[in-house]
């Protein structure tokens, strides 16, 4: 039996205006865990969601991402950026070297609220669910000028993604002075 070595810049790439995903290790390689390198463009917000079967691991390689991985005291449908857990956990601005583990049924999200792309390593168990998901969502993002929200919702329903807040792709959200002070504190 042999392992697999994937040099930098190698792997199967899926690229759209909304995302760039490079498959590094997949179910086709015999892995039970799918591994991807993902470039998260400025303004991209995956929206808070859960999975009943999947576990996920995110590792920030470059840039900064806002990360969430907890059940809030109160879920809101419009946004997750101000959520807080019963233990006082809040959204974290995570830089290179930060990671996030997400067990099944845990609300989680990430967004790039900066004006520069971020790059992360993303692992998902079991393989190949997220591989198929990425292939199909890239098709949806490539279909035209605007993203069809019904097609995205249908895709998410089929792949065990229970959306809580909307997926958003656009310019980074300008922070209020209070949010800038809170992030420094």
Nearest to 100 by CA among 77, 70, 79: 70
Distance (Å, whole) CA 148 – CA 97: 34
Beta-strand runs (E) in 28-153: 34-40, 49-50, 55-62, 65-69, 92-94, 99-102, 108-111, 118-125
Which pLDDT score is estimated for 31?
Answer: 93
Kindly report, residue by residue over 88-97, the tens digit of the pLDDT.
Answer: 999 999 999 9
Helical residues (DSSP H) of the chain, grouped into ranges: 129-142, 149-158, 177-184
Which pLDDT score is estimated for 185?
Answer: 42
Which pLDDT score is estimated for 182?
Answer: 47
Which pLDDT score is estimated for 181?
Answer: 46
Which pLDDT score is estimated for 67?
Answer: 98
Which pLDDT score is estimated for 172?
Answer: 56
Kindly report, residue by residue over 51-76, the tens digit of the pLDDT.
Answer: 999 999 999 999 999 999 999 999 99
Distance (Å, whole) CA 56 – CA 39: 17
User: How would DSSP label each residue in 16-45?
Assistant: -SS-EEEEEE-GGGT-SSEEEEEEE-TT-B
Which pLDDT score is estimated for 118?
Answer: 97
The residues of the chain scoring below 50 in pLDDT are: 176, 179-185
Domains of the chain: 12-177 (2.60.120.10)
Which pLDDT score is estimated for 81?
Answer: 96
Which pLDDT score is estimated for 184?
Answer: 41
């Amino acid at each position: 039996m042999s392992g697999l070595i994937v040099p930098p810049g190698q792997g199967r790439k899926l690229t759209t205006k909304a995302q760039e995903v490079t498959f590094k290790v997949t179910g086709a390689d015999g892995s039970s865990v799918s591994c991807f390198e993902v470039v998260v463009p400025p303004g991209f917000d995956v929206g808070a969601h859960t999975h009943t079967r999947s576990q996920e691991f995110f590792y920030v390689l470059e840039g900064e991402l806002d990360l969430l991985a907890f059940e809030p005291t109160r879920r809101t449908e419009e946004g997750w950026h101000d959520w807080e857990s019963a233990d006082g956990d809040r959204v974290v601005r995570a830089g290179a070297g930060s990671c996030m583990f997400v067990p099944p049924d845990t609300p989680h999200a990430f967004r790039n609220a900066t004006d520069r792309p971020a790059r992360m390593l993303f692992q998902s168990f079991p393989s190949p669910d997220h591989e198929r998901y990425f292939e199909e969502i890239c098709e949806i993002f490539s279909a035209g000028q605007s993203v069809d929200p019904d097609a995205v919702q249908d895709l998410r329903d089929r792949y065990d993604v229970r959306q809580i807040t909307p997926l958003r792709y656009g310019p980074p959200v300008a922070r209020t002075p209070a949010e800038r002070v809170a992030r420094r504190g």
